[in-house]
Chain A
Amino acid sequence: MFNFTVRRLLFTIPTLLFISFVIFFILDAAPSDPTGNLPLTIPPDVREKIRASLGLDQPMIVRYLLWCKQFFINEPLNLLDQWGLHLGDPDRLRVISFQTRSPVVDMIAERMPQTLWVVGMSYVVGVMIALPIGIISAVRQYSWFDQLGTFISMIGFSVPTFFTGVLMIVVFSTIVPRDSFFWFPSIYDTTLKVTDWASFGAQVRQMAMPVFVLALYNAAQISRFMRASMLDNLNQDYVRTARAKGLRERTVLLVHVLRNSLIPVITVIALGVPQVFGGAIITEQVFKVNGLGQLLIIAIQGGDIPTVQTLTFIFAVLIVLFNLIADILYGILDPRIRYD
């Protein structure tokens, strides 16, 4: 297993380099112009100079290598600097946003907490709701609980988050009176600092709607997987053996059946993590959460290639990483899988 992990990790290096190149190539091929949003009164030769100052007059391959150097060498060195470990010249060039002229990595670091809190929390909540629902739905197949679960997941599955999100805002931010307990803010306030119970309450309230919308969406998918996987296993011979041994029904279900059913579901959960970041772009936009998704949208609109490149690459890293994690979990959970 260890060898497998190391081998896979080494293999991710060329994979990610290749991905970063493809992203760069596609961004370069896209007809986006960082000076496009500037006032029309600016004459073309000035625009040309602005482009040159952004380094856009260089050939694509040079710009790509420059980005690689900035991202893979300078940024890590800079990180070490911050931890008090100084290597080489501290005056190195970092990945700089076209729009804000500030380092992209710093912008990402600023926005990461919001995304992790809202999106990460919604995934955790979604999984925690989905697993019990899936298990109960399978054990009580065709019961009213199962039917209701099927109905709700169908809704969660088929109604897009930008619809549920706006619907929630209409109901809980506008229809419900402001002083009511059921009123929730529609805009996420990043400046809110949790210092006491009151501000903690406010934080929970402003997270509630985006988390609910995303959690519903995630739970809908995962609960279906869980249910199907449980049903698959409930009919297996080993379940009959477990019952014939005189085990409690709870043990049969929650030890024997569940352990087997979780194998594919955990893989799905792990593979879903990077998708969650992508999928959250819309929800972040709807609820004005200034997280990574919103940053990406703004950067795309402004033709901010370094930001888009870096963010997209980070998403790619997440995907590759969680693929590896899924494989490793699979190997841990299923003793029949041996990687070496």
Chain B
Amino acid sequence: MPEGAAPILDVSGLKTVFTTRSGEVHAVNSVSFNLAPGELLGVVGESGSGKSVTMMSLIGLLPSPPAEIRGGTAMFDGHDMLAMSQDELRQIRGSRIGFVFQDPMTSLNPVFSVGFQLMEPLRVHMNMNKAQARARAIELLELVGIPDAESRLDNFPHQFSGGMRQRVMIAIALACDPQILIADEPTTALDVTIQAQILELVKELRQKLGMAIIWITHDLGVIAGIADRVRVMYGGQVVEQAPVRELFSNPLHPYTRALLETLPGFVGARSKRLRTIEGQPPSLDRQPTSCPFRTRCRHANDQCARENPPIRTIANGHDVACFWRPDA
């Protein structure tokens, strides 16, 4: 991370609540983080920890109702995205913030050609005419490594393999040269070799284009390979964030430590059995008043049940939300 650079995205105190028939779901609770220009921020956490909802809240992609953003600010380029109208957000989406989603098999519209879908953001945001958009679309397909781009433009999504489709999704997200690319588990649905190829592609594109990336994943191995900084989420909160080396060498939160232990052969000697994290994910039906991880935590004490540990900076760029300290 370029030290001291002003963040391009600064989120603080984001709260998102879903109102469902069976009550409220507090999916995101006071989440704060920032993103420096050109930085690659990895976001990890188990399923349901609020990774996707956090990102979707920022750019107004959640259906409302049921979703409601109860508080927080998200400063992007000097403007608060959470206070923007849908129309203002729409102009940011796809042009200055690009999105790649998990499932490339269903994320493209089956009845329109890949070229049409790729040209749409160009025509909407950059006011290109058909010919200009087409030329740029060919360029983009070549950029993401699709051979024979010109003729592939008129193909339909079903004529592409999963990995190819994800490349197309990346091309769509990058179409208007965004400052931020948000990738929500972009490789989860792909097999391992394709996953490696996509990772290579993203690394390469980052070198070339220099945008900041938020990379959401379950896979700590992926994070270790590409991220500058890591944010760990649990129960709709950020429980720890640190530069990637620091996090892997000196994890502070018991959940992060447990996560790393579940990684085969990552820390210390290889354990005989694969480690798991016992217990259930927390219920999100109200605002947390205690540590959401305490029922699964080996180090929990009375204080954890009384109050929710606030996130605090421990060392340079290393924040954690826990009362317990490893060497204490």
Residues in A neighbouring B120, C-beta threshold 8 A: 242, 245, 247
A246-B125 in contact (CB<8A): yes
Contact string, B96-119, partner A, CB cutoff 8 A, digits 1/0?
A: 001101010011111111000000
B109-A242 in contact (CB<8A): yes
Residues in A neighbouring B103, C-beta threshold 8 A: 237
A101 within 8 A of B: no
Distance, CA A223 to CA B121, complexed state (A):
32
Distance, CA A263 to CA B111, complexed state (A):
10
Question: Whole-angstrom distance from the CB of A335 to the nearest CB of chain B?
Answer: 4
Q: Please tell me which stretch of B87-95, B227-235, B259-267 contacts chain A, meaning at least 4 of its Cβ atoms lie within 8 angstroms of it.
A: B87-95
Distance, CA A333 to CA B121, complexed state (A):
23
**Interface residue ranges of A238-274 to B (CB < 8 Å):** 238, 240-249, 251, 256, 259-260, 263
Those 9 A-B pairs whose CB atoms lie nearest each other, nearest first: A246-B94, A245-B94, A246-B93, A244-B99, A237-B106, A238-B109, A335-B156, A245-B121, A237-B107
Nearest A residue (CB) for B113? A335
Q: How many residues of B contact A (CB 8 A)?
A: 30
Distance, CA A153 to CA B223, complexed state (A):
54
Residues in B neighbouring A238, C-beta threshold 8 A: 106-110
Residues in A neighbouring B125, C-beta threshold 8 A: 246
A236 within 8 A of B: yes
Residues in A neighbouring B93, C-beta threshold 8 A: 243-246
Given A247-B94, A247-B120, A248-B90, decide whether A241 and B109 contact each other with a Cβ distance below 8 A.
Answer: yes
B95-A246 in contact (CB<8A): yes
Residues in B neighbouring A256, C-beta threshold 8 A: 109, 112
Nearest B residue (CB) for A334? B111
A336 within 8 A of B: yes
B314 within 8 A of A: no
Nearest A residue (CB) for B96? A246
Add 16 more A-B contacts to A259-B109, A335-B113, A336-B158 (CB < 8 A): A236-B106, A238-B106, A238-B108, A240-B107, A241-B99, A241-B101, A241-B108, A241-B172, A244-B61, A245-B93, A245-B172, A246-B125, A256-B112, A259-B111, A260-B110, A263-B111
Nearest B residue (CB) for A241? B107
Question: Whole-angstrom distance from the CB of B110 to the nearest CB of chain A?
Answer: 6
Q: How many residues of A contact B (CB 8 A)?
A: 22
Question: Whole-angstrom distance from the CB of B300 to the nearest CB of chain A?
Answer: 38
In the complex, number of A-B residue pairs with CB atoms less than 8 Å apart: 76
B135 within 8 A of A: no
B59 within 8 A of A: yes
Residues of B within 8 A of A (CB): 59, 61, 86, 90-95, 98-99, 101, 103, 106-113, 120-121, 124-125, 156, 158, 169, 172-173
Distance, CA A143 to CA B113, complexed state (A):
34
Residues in B neighbouring A241, C-beta threshold 8 A: 99, 101, 107-109, 169, 172
Distance, CA A248 to CA B93, complexed state (A):
11
A244: contacting residue among B94, B109, B156, CB under 8 A:
B94
A240: contacting residue among B61, B86, B156, CB under 8 A:
B61
Can you offer 11 A-B residue contacts whose CB atoms are under 8 A? Answer: A238-B106, A244-B93, A244-B94, A245-B93, A246-B125, A256-B112, A259-B112, A260-B110, A263-B111, A336-B156, A336-B158
Question: Whole-angstrom distance from the CB of B62 to the nearest CB of chain A?
Answer: 10
Question: Whole-angstrom distance from the CB of A52 to the nearest CB of chain B?
Answer: 62
Nearest B residue (CB) for A244? B99
Distance, CA A336 to CA B59, complexed state (A):
32
Distance, CA A247 to CA B158, complexed state (A):
23
Residues in A neighbouring B169, C-beta threshold 8 A: 241
Distance, CA A335 to CA B109, complexed state (A):
11
Question: Whole-angstrom distance from the CB of A317 to the nearest CB of chain B?
Answer: 31
Question: Whole-angstrom distance from the CB of A291 to the nearest CB of chain B?
Answer: 38
Distance, CA A245 to CA B61, complexed state (A):
11
Nearest B residue (CB) for A335? B156
Distance, CA A246 to CA B98, complexed state (A):
9
Residues in B neighbouring A259, C-beta threshold 8 A: 109, 111-112
Distance, CA A333 to CA B112, complexed state (A):
10
Residues in A neighbouring B91, C-beta threshold 8 A: 246
Residues in A neighbouring B110, C-beta threshold 8 A: 238, 260, 334-336
Question: Whole-angstrom distance from the CB of A237 to the nearest CB of chain B?
Answer: 4
B124-A333 in contact (CB<8A): no
Nearest A residue (CB) for B98? A244
**Interface residue ranges of A15-54 to B (CB < 8 Å):** none
Nearest A residue (CB) for B91? A246
Distance, CA A336 to CA B112, complexed state (A):
10
Interface hub of A236, A246, A256, A336 (most chain B Cβ within 10 A): A246
A260-B111 in contact (CB<8A): yes
Residues in A neighbouring B61, C-beta threshold 8 A: 240, 243-244
A244-B111 in contact (CB<8A): no
Question: Whole-angstrom distance from the CB of A268 to the nearest CB of chain B?
Answer: 17
Distance, CA A215 to CA B94, complexed state (A):
43
Given A237-B103, A237-B106, A336-B158, decide whether A247 and B124 contact each other with a Cβ distance below 8 A.
Answer: yes
Residues in B neighbouring A245, C-beta threshold 8 A: 93-94, 120-121, 124, 172
Distance, CA A259 to CA B156, complexed state (A):
14
A246-B109 in contact (CB<8A): no
Interface hub of A241, A245, A335 (most chain B Cβ within 10 A): A245
Residues in B neighbouring A247, C-beta threshold 8 A: 90, 94, 120-121, 124
Nearest B residue (CB) for A255? B112
Interface hub of B59, B101, B109, B125 (most chain A Cβ within 10 A): B109
Question: Whole-angstrom distance from the CB of A73 to the nearest CB of chain B?
Answer: 45
Nearest A residue (CB) for B109? A238
Given A246-B91, A247-B94, decide whether A335 and B101 contact each other with a Cβ distance below 8 A.
Answer: no
